[in-house]
């Protein structure tokens, strides 16, 4: 089942030992020659595999919609944000891909509001501190991108682990929102404030109009990932949908099964 705006998220977990060299090369043959060349230029095989999975996720959208690969085009906005067009796709499909550590995720939905490429953005992050870092030292890197209220919420949490979870909710909200707008680097993240205690988002100090924000958590063994999808829906009061165990718009896959399915 989809939400009212047709939102879908596919999340793929990649682990090097579970994606064989044979399967990697078979998947590589499915993408266009420009993508193949870009993927082959990566020095690290993990980076190549993550990029390949992202390309195959886009291809999977075509297959699900019954769209011929020969008919599809990837167009871009003036800011360079891509979206999918094809004769039988009306409206076009807005999409956004993100990855962090072992997780590659794509959000996509019909581009029915505010232009086809501007309606959806996604961000995911693994909830962990870099080695040798404390929450205080870690926040020195990002502190200038937090509002005073956000900063206080992080450090008033009951534990370092809880404070870290608050921070990653704030950061993924900011990233997902700016990606949905199709904006590049240079957006002042302090313009977006997420109160992670009360699930309230403000933009430029006001409640934005017309947005849905979907929060989700995924586990990969002992690793926890937090993610947010921002989708412009138009004509509604902005909603924040908290993470829950049952989210029909979210599908989780493992890389080997996903690539094998694409090849077959």
Segments forming the whole domain that contains residue 143: 8-263
Residue 96 in domain = yes
> Looking at the predicted structure, is the pLDDT value of residue 1 above 50?
no
Task: Tell me what pLDDT residue 118 has.
Answer: 67
What band does 117 get if pLDDT is binned at 50, 70 and 90?
low
Q: Are 67 and 92 spatial neighbours (Cβ–Cβ below 8 Å)?
A: no
> Looking at the predicted structure, is the pLDDT value of residue 89 above 80?
no
Mean pLDDT of 184-199: 89
What band does 32 get if pLDDT is binned at 50, 70 and 90?
confident
What band does 4 get if pLDDT is binned at 50, 70 and 90?
very low
Q: By C-alpha distance, which of 224, 163, 235, 229 is closest to 197?
A: 163
Residue 139 in domain = yes
Tell me the whole-structure pTM to 2 decimals.
0.92
Mean pLDDT of 52-59: 93
Residue 38 in domain = yes
Task: Tell me what pLDDT residue 115 has.
Answer: 61
Residue 114 CA to residue 208 CA, distance in Å, equals 14
Share of the chain above pLDDT 70, in %: 92
> Looking at the predicted structure, is the pLDDT value of residue 186 above 80?
no
Residue 142 CA to residue 145 CA, distance in Å, equals 6
Tokens describing residue 35:
């993508």
Residue 2 in domain = no
Q: What is the pLDDT of residues 128-185, one digit of tens each?
A: 998 888 888 888 888 789 999 999 999 999 899 999 999 999 999 999 999 998 876 6
> Looking at the predicted structure, is the pLDDT value of residue 45 above 70?
yes
Compare 73 and 30 and report the one with higher pLDDT: 30
Mean pLDDT of 94-102: 93
Task: Tell me what pLDDT residue 113 has.
Answer: 59
Number of domains present in the structure of the chain: 1
Compare 134 and 228 and report the one with higher pLDDT: 228
Task: Tell me what pLDDT residue 3 has.
Answer: 45
Task: Tell me what pLDDT residue 185 has.
Answer: 65
Residue 1 in domain = no
**CATH number, domain with residue 65:** 3.90.470.20
| Per-chain mean pLDDT for the chain | 88
Mean pLDDT of 202-216: 94
Residue 6 CA to residue 90 CA, distance in Å, equals 13
Q: What is the pLDDT of residues 245-256, one digit of tens each?
A: 889 999 999 999
Task: Tell me what pLDDT residue 21 has.
Answer: 93
Kindly list the distances between the CA atom of residue 48 and the CA atoms of 58, 97, 264, in Å, as whole numbers in the listed order.
16, 15, 21
């Amino acid at each position: 089942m989809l939400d009212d705006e047709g939102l879908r998220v596919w999340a793929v977990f990649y682990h090097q030992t579970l994606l064989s060299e044979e399967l990697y090369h078979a998947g590589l043959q499915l993408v266009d020659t420009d993508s193949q060349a870009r993927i082959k230029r990566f020095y690290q095989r993990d980076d190549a595999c993550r990029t390949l999975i992202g390309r195959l996720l886009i291809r999977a959208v075509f297959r699900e919609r019954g769209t011929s690969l020969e008919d599809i085009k990837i167009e871009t906005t003036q800011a360079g944000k891509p979206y999918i067009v094809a004769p039988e796709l009306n409206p076009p499909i807005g999409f956004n891909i993100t990855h962090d550590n072992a997780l590659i995720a794509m959000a996509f939905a019909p581009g029915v509001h505010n232009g086809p490429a501007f309606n959806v953005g996604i961000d995911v992050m693994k909830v962990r501190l870099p080695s040798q870092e404390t929450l205080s030292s870690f926040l020195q890197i990002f502190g200038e991108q937090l509002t005073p209220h956000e900063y206080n919420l992080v450090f008033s949490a009951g534990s370092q682990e809880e404070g870290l979870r608050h921070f990653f909710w704030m950061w993924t909200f900011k990233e997902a929102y700016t990606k949905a707008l199709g904006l590049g680097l240079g957006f002042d993240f302090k313009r977006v404030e997420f109160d992670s205690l009360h699930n309230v988002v403000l933009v430029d100090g006001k409640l934005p109009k017309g947005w849905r924000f979907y929060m989700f958590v995924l586990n990969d063994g002992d690793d926890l990932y937090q993610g947010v999808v921002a989708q412009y829906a138009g004509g509604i009061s902005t909603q924040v949908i908290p993470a829950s165990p049952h989210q029909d718009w979210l599908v989780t896959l493992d890389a080997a099964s996903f690539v094998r399915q694409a090849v077959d």
